[in-house]
Amino acid sequence: MSEEREMHVFDGIEEHDNPPPTWFNLLFIGTIVWGIGYLILMPGIGPGLLGWSQNKQYDAEVASAKERFAKAAPATIDLAAAMNDPLVVADGKKIFASSCAACHGPEAKGAIGPNLTDAEWLYGGTAEEIVHTVTKGAPKGMPAWESQLGAANITKVAAFVHSLGGGL
Ligand code: HEC
């Protein structure tokens, strides 16, 4: 050791006072400055100068997701167009298999719920009336599907039901 530093000796053990390197001190002071800056800008001691909050960020992300989703899957679709589009009717068939077949049977020929393939209708057999029944439900055990499926899916499944042969 070239320069003489303060030294402490105890029990034959020499203890030198080695100052920490400059880079370490800068890093150490830097974390304190960063921490104070963070507490001032972000919610910490107070609400934070930047005005950022979890709720605001969440709302912004939900809004942008809704916007993107609305373009990918419109909330409503045109009934007449749906009935004439085999792809949409095929979509309706899938919805029927997962949401309706349990009560109306896999072929829609009736089980707990009535046969939907004949021209006998309790609540009307036009596509509009089927949409209405599925949306609002019917008193003797037919659930309302409005909130669960949404208007676009109800239009699809109604177009499928209407195509089964009983549609008026
Ligand atoms: C929990 C059993 C159940 C499920 C699931 C169900 N239905 Fe029904 N549905 C019924 C019953 C029971 C009726 C008869 C209601 C009445 O007479 O008031 C009915 C009636 C109907 C009618 C009216 C038939 C007519 O003669 O006017 C239509 C249309 C219909 N359902 C379509 C659907 C579609 C489409 C789905 C799937 C989205 C579906 N149902 C799911 C039980 C069910």
Per-domain residue ranges for the chain? 7-72, 79-162
Q: Which atom of ligand 1 is nearest to the CA of 99?
A: 37
The low-confidence residues of the chain, meaning pLDDT below 70, are: 1-6
Q: Which atom of ligand 1 is nearest to the CA of 123?
A: 27
Q: Which atom of ligand 1 is nearest to the CA of 141?
A: 12
Report the separation in Å between the CA atom of 130 and the middle of ligand 1, taken as the mean of its atom positions. Answer: 9
Task: Report pLDDT for 5.
Answer: 63
Task: Report pLDDT for 2.
Answer: 44
Longest distance between any two alpha carbons in the chain, whole Å: 107
Q: Which atom of ligand 1 is nearest to the CA of 138?
A: 18
Distance CA 4, CA 155 (A): 90
Task: Report pLDDT for 91.
Answer: 95
Task: Report pLDDT for 1.
Answer: 45
pTM: 0.68
Task: Report pLDDT for 84.
Answer: 94
pLDDT tens-place string over residues 100-131: 999 999 999 999 999 999 999 999 999 999 99
Ligand 1, atom 17: nearest CA belongs to which residue?
140
Task: Report pLDDT for 159.
Answer: 97
Report the separation in Å between the CA atom of 87 and the middle of ligand 1, taken as the mean of its atom positions. Answer: 23
136-164 burial code (b ≥16 CB/10 A, e <16): eeeeeebeebeeebeeebbbbbbbbbbbb
Report the separation in Å between the CA atom of 16 and the middle of ligand 1, taken as the mean of its atom positions. Answer: 88
Does residue 152 contact residue 78 with C-beta atoms inside 8 Å?
Answer: no
Q: Reply yes or no on domain 79-162 having CATH 1.10.760.10.
A: yes
Residue 9 has φ and ψ, to the nearest 5°, of -120, 130
Q: Which residues line ligand 1 (CB under 6 A)?
A: 99-100, 102-104, 112-114, 116, 121-123, 130, 133-134, 138-143, 145, 157, 161
